Structures are given as structure tokens and as C-alpha cells.
Amino acid sequence: MVEIRLTNTRTRRKEVFTPIDPANVRMYVCGPTVYDRAHIGNARPVVVFDTLFRLLRHVYGADHVTYVRNFTDVDDKINAEAQRRRAAGRPGTLEELIRERTEETIAWYHADMDALGALRPTMEPRATEYIGAMIAMISDLIGKGHAYAADGHVLFRVRSYRDYGALSGRSVDDMIAGARVEVAPFKEDPMDFVLWKPSDADLPGWDSPWGRGRPGWHIECSAMSHELLGATFDIHGGGIDLQFPHHENEIAQSCCAHPEAGFARVWMHNEMLQVEGKKMSKSLGNFFTVRDLLDQGYPGEVIRMVYLGTHYSKPMDWTAEKAAQAEATLRKWRGLVADAKAAPEPSPSVIEALSDDLNTAGAIAALHALAGAGDAAGLKASAALLGLLEDGMGDWVRELEILEWLVEGEDARPVIEMTIEKIAKARSEKDYSTADSLKSALAEAGVTLSFDRDGGVTYKRAKKLDLSKLEGLQ
RNA sequence: GGCGGGUUGGCGGAGAGGUUACGCAGCGGAUUGCAAAUCCGUGAAGACCGGUUCGAUUCCGGUACCCGCCUCCA
């Protein structure tokens, strides 16, 4: 059995991973709030934990890993969008408009993450489908003295949980000292957080013992992980920004509701993503969704490769330069494995790298070694463990067939193909000056040609074509 | 202010207390009408200051700078 080592945020140490039940390894990852397209930062944990999922499936068997990733479909940003639509005259009740928004966002999310080669998790529960479980858990917490109802809200009594702050290394007193939060008058303690809050007529709500309302953010993950994975499970993942308060609060809720269980054994957090060295933000103009990148012509496989190039525990910088390098490498590898049949097993070197705290950069280095040795079968089988070089994701290599050739409504392809034929003819007649001038005109128009030794021609299309550059050529 | 992460060769980016990371770019060569691609070879590093050690880029402490969280943003 391969020994997997993972850095556990909870203990701040790299530990040997030992599943509670090797026949059912259980992992929960915090998923998206479905109010809009996923940005490229949202995609990092998806790729990271997808890779871990693949490794676990390889080691314990595909049928012995349960991966749960939730959709948060109760949220003020979703409500705001639905209210905006209603104000704009869209038909339907608020609940219907909310459902409409979350449905379309989930469909986008699936399409975008599929494009990155991420396997669908075993289960993708929605918060709204587990309201009953949340209410039951909240009632239980009240009964055990860990929560209290006040002014239509239910709050978690942070002081009732000794170990609060253990995950993120904070003490309650320090946090209060440095807190910038406004303290609601109904809180017993400034750090107490909301389990349930009241909804007015303009907000979605569910009936509860505390009146019509909606759940706080943190309780959904505690309730759903308990329902689907049990009171104790193996791995809980998410972005480092969730470490506090979200995960801290999850731990408090779950451990107080089920004090006999340990909740998640291993906590894993991926570091944040930056763009060209800066924090991604709308105001800086460097904010991209995954769909933006796909639309710009970056293949999903290339995006994935860029992500895997940096260890998950370090900040990752998205740059055009990295994408270009990743594309060149994948292009080379795709050429190598084009006619290869995958080996029955991935290379031990790749498994070893991934087993060492998901060292994806090391795994890629191992893939380079396989490629350098000409081991196409081994490369193909090993890359699959990283979600790379898989069948069905490589169409981007043959841009000619798949890209659209419309320029301002006209099909550019006949003009370009005719020009290419002229170049080929000129070359065969050794009229190199004509060939070169046509070639450079074509390059300016947006199509770069290269010739094989055996006379074949391959060409690469730029994102934007400008056919005016071809005018006036014979 | 509190907590946490980072700083490696021109660029990206890993591991290991002492032996080549790896990739890209560069340089030299093969191939090519010229290129591209491909192949072979090759130089180059670990923010700063101390400490531990026979020996540290790798461990410990400090300084500087960068980043994140503490505001339901992965």
C-alpha cells in the first residue's frame, strides 16, 4: 500500500495518512456559493482536491473514496441578484428567481470545472436540501447549552467550546481585542456567531422553532458532512481563507453536537491565487473567471497544468507566461502520446511525488523524466493521475478543426487555406521569396505556419484574425 | 494591532543536513531553403544577519520585504 503523507493544518505537521475505513475514504471540500461564474481563484481548490481525489482513488480503489463538495445556495448575494431580477420585472416568485439563479450558476460551474478536467465529486449536496438537518443540529446545540436563541436569531456560544481557535491558532481573547466587527446587541459575547437568522418577506426563509428564517453560513457544512459522511471522516479541505472563521466555526458546531466524534481528522488548506503578482480584484482589472480564460483561448488542460505547477500550500501566480509554457509542454507531450496506449499502472515516481503531500510540481518533473526517456505509455498513464493528457481533453492541440473561423460574420477559412496552398506551391517551386512574403502576411493576419521536414504543414491560429492583412497579395 | 504563509539560478518551481531537481529562456551542436518543432550538450541559485554543526540553501533565532486572514471572498 502506498503511504500518503499530508500536511494537516490542524497539527501544522506532515502526517502519514491512515484512513478510518480504507473501504470508504471520506473527504469533504467546501464548494462554491452559487451566485456567479467561478473565478480562477475558486478553481484552485477544485483542481487541488480533484488531484487528491484521483490519488486516493488510485490507492484505495475508485469505489472506495467518497468525495463530497457542497453548493451554497443560501446567500445574501444570491438573494440580491434575485431581488434585482424581480425589480427588473422578471416573472416568478422570489424563491423561483433564486432557484433560477442557482440552477444556472451550478450549470456554469459544472461546465467550467469539467473543462479543467475535474472529476465530479461523489456527491454535491445543496444547502437548501439540508435545511431540516441544520435545524435539527441547531436544536441539539441549544439543548446541549452550546447555542441560544435571541431576538429571532440563534447564536453559537463560543465560550462554551474550550478548543475554539485551535485550528487557526487564535485565542478568543486576542480576537476580541483586535476585532473590528460590530457587535450585535443580542449577542452574549462578541465572538458568538449566527446559526440561524430571521428572514423578512423579501428574503427566502424556512419555518423553524425560532420563526421563519434562514441558516447562517457555517452550519450547512457541519450538517451536510454529518449527513453524508458521518460524525467522523478523513479529510476536510478548502481555501486557506476559510480556515477562519468558517472552518473554526464548523469544528465548534460539529464537535459540540457530536462530542464523542472527532469530526475531520485531517484539515487541508490551499493557498491563495494571484494574477501577475497581485491580488486578483475587480478594481485592479485583473479579475478573471474560468470562463474568461477559456473564452480567451486558454484550453482547460493548460489552465490545469499551470495550477499543478505550484504546490498547493504556496501562493500561486497566474501569468500569461506560465500558460504559454504549460501549453508548449502539453503540446510536446500530446505529440509523444498521440498513438500510445496507456501503461497499466502510473509510474512509481509520479505516485511517490503525489503521495508526498500532493507534490504536483514534483510529479510534473517526473512526467518530464518519462517524456525524456521516451516512455509514452508510462507518461500517458502517469499524467492521468494528474488529470492531464486524458482522451477528450486534447482537442485544443488541433486548433484547425475545432476553432471557429468566423471573422466579422465571414468564414475566414477558405481565404487562409488558399493562401496556404499558394505558399506550399511556391515552396515546391523553390520560390522562397514569394513563400516567405505570403507566410509573413499570414502571420500578421493571425495564422502562424510551420513546416515539417516531410512537407507537412501545421499552423497555429491567434485569438484574433485580421484578414485585411491578406488583401493585395497575389 | 493579533494570527498565519512566503522570500531559491534570467524566469517559473521542487526535494534533500553533505552527492544533477525539473521546465522555460540563454549558449554550443544536429536537423532545416530560412524558420518552427524535435534531438544532443552546457553555464547559472537559495533575501539579509547571527547561531547549532565537521558541514546549512535545507534546523534555530532575529531583521527586511511580499502576501493572506481577523469584514459570511477558495
CB of A357 under 7 A from strand B?
Answer: yes
Question: From the CA of A382, how many Å to the C1' of B39?
Answer: 23
Mean pLDDT (whole number) for A462-470: 72
Please indicate, yes or no, whether residues A426 and A381 belong to a single structural domain of this protein.
no
Task: Looking at the structure, tell me whether residues A331 and A446 fall in a common domain.
Answer: no
pTM exceeds 0.80 for this model = yes
**Positions 89-148 in A, CB within 7 angstroms of strand B:** none
Asked if residue A108 and residue A175 are part of one domain, the reply reads yes
CATH code assigned at A356: 1.20.120
Residue A116 has pLDDT above 80, yes or no: yes
Question: Where is the binding site for Zn(2+), in residues of A?
Answer: 30, 221, 246, 250
How many domains does one find in chain A?
3
Answer yes or no: do A227 and A96 share one domain.
yes
Give me chain A's average pLDDT, please.
87
Q: Taking the C1' atom of B5, which residue's CA lies nearest? A: A314
- Nearest nucleic acid nucleotide to A306, CA to C1' distance: B12
CA–C1' span, A272 to B50, in Å?
33
For residue A402, the model assigns a pLDDT of: 39
A6, pLDDT greater than 70? yes
Residues A87, A34 within the same domain: yes
Complete DSSP assignment for A366-399: HHHHHHHTT-HHHHHHHHHHTT-S-TTS-GGG-H
Identify whether residues A81 and A228 lie together within a single domain: yes
Range of the domain at A33: 17-273
Q: Are residues A172 and A102 in the same domain?
A: yes
Mean pLDDT throughout A403-428? 76
**CATH number of the domain bearing residue A255:** 3.40.50.620
Q: Is residue A151, in this structure, part of any structural domain at all?
A: yes
Q: Which positions of A make up the binding site for ATP? A: 282
Task: Mark which of A341, A364, A399 sits at the end of a domain.
Answer: A399
**pLDDT exceeds cutoff 90 at A472:** no
Percent of chain A with pLDDT over 70: 91
Q: Are A449 and A459 in contact (CB under 8 A)?
A: yes
A220 contact to strand B (CB, 7 A limit): no
- The answer to whether residue A309 is domain-embedded is no
Whether A400 has a pLDDT exceeding 70, the answer reads no
Contact, A435 CB vs strand B, < 7 Å = yes
Instruction: Give yes or no for CB of A273 within 7 Å of strand B.
Output: yes
pLDDT (tens digit per residue) in A130-153? 999 999 999 999 999 999 998 889
Residue A401, pLDDT > 70, answer no
Q: Is the Cβ atom of A444 within 7 Å of strand B at any atom?
A: no
Asked if the structure places residue A377 within a domain, the reply is: yes
A465 lies in a domain?
Answer: yes
Q: Is the CB of A451 under 7 A from strand B?
A: yes
The pLDDT assigned to A418 comes to 84
% of residues, chain A, pLDDT over 90: 47
Neighbour tally for A315: CB within 10 Å: 13
The ipTM (two decimal places) reads 0.88
pLDDT higher than 60, residue A72: yes
For residues A98 and A78, the answer to whether their CB atoms sit within 8 Å is: yes
Strand B reaches within 7 A of the A245 CB: yes
Average pLDDT estimate for A217-240? 93
Cα–Cα distance for residue pair A348/A378, rounded to 1 Å: 10
Own/partner contacts of A295-298, CB < 8 Å, gap of 24 or more, are A296/A463, A297/A463, A298/A323, A298/A327
Copy the grid coordinates of residue A212. 421563519
pLDDT at A440 over 90: no
Section A390-399 average pLDDT: 75
A298 occurs within a structural domain:
no
In a shared domain, residues A171 and A254: yes
Q: Give yes or no: residues A393 and A421 share one domain.
A: no
Quick check: is A291 in a domain?
no
A157 lies in the same domain as A259: yes
Pair (A393, A417) in one structural domain: no
pLDDT, residue A407, reads 65
Q: Lowest mean pLDDT of A190-204, A271-285, A346-360, name the range.
A: A271-285
Confidence band, pLDDT 50/70/90 cuts, at residue A473: low
Where do we find the cell 457530536? A258
**What pLDDT is recorded for position A211?**
93
* A404: pLDDT strictly greater than 60: no
Contacts with A445 (C-beta within 8 Å, 6 or more apart), sequence order? A416, A465, A466, A467, A468, A469, A470
Same domain? For A193 and A335 the reply is no
A283 within domain boundaries: no
Those residues with Cβ within 8 angstroms of residue A42's Cβ, 6 or more apart along the chain or in another chain = A32, A290
Residue where one domain finishes, among candidates A377, A399, A421: A399
**Domain presence at residue A460:** yes
Confidence of residue A156 (pLDDT cuts 50, 70, 90): very high
Single residue among A239, A273, A307 that ends a domain in this structure? A273
Q: What whole-number distance in Å separates Cα of residue A235 and Cα of residue A212?
A: 34
Check residue A336 and give its pLDDT.
Answer: 87
